[in-house]
Amino acid sequence: MATNSNGRMTGKVALVTGGAEGIGSTVARMFVAEGGQALLCDVQIDKAQALADELGDNAAAFELDVRNLDQWHDAVKEAQGKFGKLTTLFNIAGISEPGNVVDVDLDSWQRTIDINLVGPFHGCRAAIPAIEASGEAGAIVNIGSMIAIRAAAFVAAYSASKAGLQGLTRSIALDCAERGVPIRANMVHPGAIRTPMYERYKFSGADEPENIERDFAATHPMNRIGEPEEVAKACIFLASDDASFTTGCDFTVDGGGSIRS
């Protein structure tokens, strides 16, 4: 998919979680292509390192489990040490595990809340003072989901974690605005997107892969699966100065899925 590179991230330094693959790696690629510098953070450090090597001097990798606040402080220091400052945070790492409210495995519930909600909370807690210290306009982009807006019965923990993240993002947007801190906080809500997460479900054996593809596509009025680049473009816009009066917003990239009744 073609992308325009206009240097919109020149002078910006980002920490990207989930930077090893899927949407996070696509955002990291686009951020660097737009002139920025990025620290790719992930539990899959080998993959994150391979991508950082490919992207060159404006990228580096760091092993981070978003559940660990101490590691978050180290990651922020690493970004400041490598690139001189931190201006931008992309909370993209996340997991999705099936289970309705009665059947969901309790460990799965806790893991999902810890990675999808507590992780971004830790990230914002560690990164906001660092972004403030840069003295520049900053941005936080949190990845939610179409499911944050239109919950799904078969993913109770995921629905709760992403809706919780929406409340957290709005609280951060208000806090920064009311304190006069020039950091905007926004959410991007993807529909089904063709990433390793989606492919794992497609080939999980829950149904024939072609049925899963057809059924997922049909939940979106545009009747297709999205591409990671389509999500990354929204993330880059919200991180850019083009979005200078936008904070606390829900930017859907879901082919109309969240407005389907």
Ligand X SMILES: NC(=O)c1ccc[n+]([C@@H]2O[C@H](COP(=O)([O-])OP(=O)(O)OC[C@H]3O[C@@H](n4cnc5c(N)ncnc54)[C@H](O)[C@@H]3O)[C@@H](O)[C@H]2O)c1
196 touching ligand X, by CB under 6 A: yes
Whether residue 158 lies in the annotated active site = yes
Asked whether the beta carbons of 119 and 164 are under 8 A apart, the reply is: no
* CB contact burial 123-145 (16+ within 10 A = b; e otherwise): bbebbbebbbebebebbbbbbbb
Give the residue from 141, 179, 150 showing the smallest Cα distance to 16: 141
Shortest gap between Cβ of 92 and ligand X (angstroms)? Answer: 5
| Residue 23 contacts ligand X per CB under 6 A | yes
Helix (H) or strand (E) holding 59: strand 59-63
Of the candidate residues 8, 15, 22, 233, the single one contacting ligand X (CB under 6 A): 22
> Locate tokens 């002078």: which residue?
11
Task: For residue 16, give the 3-state DSSP assignment.
Answer: strand
Can you tell me which residue has the tokens 């899925």?
A: 257
Helices (H), the chain: 22-33, 45-55, 69-83, 106-113, 119-134, 146-149, 156-179, 196-202, 209-218, 228-239
- Check residue 197 for interaction with ligand X (CB under 6 A): yes
Q: Which of 62, 109, 158, 198 is catalytic?
A: 158
Rounded CA-CA distance 116/93 in Å is: 7
124 binds ligand X (CB under 6 A): no
- Residue 252 lies near ligand X (rule: CB under 6 A): no
> Shortest approach of ligand X to residue 204 CB, angstroms?
13
Which listed residue (67, 73, 85, 170) binds ligand X by CB under 6 A?
67
Report the residue from 112, 169, 186, 195 that binds ligand X according to the rule CB under 6 A: 195
Residue 190 makes contact with ligand X by CB under 6 A: yes
CB of 238 to ligand X, least distance (A): 14
Q: What is the largest CA-CA distance in the chain?
A: 53
20 binds ligand X (CB under 6 A): yes
Smallest separation, CB 261 to ligand X (Å) = 20
CB of 200 to ligand X, least distance (A): 7
Neighbour tally for 229: CB within 10 Å: 17
Is 71 near ligand X (CB under 6 A)? Answer: no
Is residue 17 part of the contact set for ligand X (CB under 6 A)?
yes
**76-115 residues near ligand X, rule: CB under 6 A:** 92-96, 115
Q: Does 63 bind ligand X (CB under 6 A)?
A: no
Tell me which residues are annotated as active site: 158
Which residues contribute to the site for ligand X (CB under 6 A)?
17-18, 20-24, 42-44, 64-67, 92-96, 115, 143, 145, 190, 192-193, 195-198
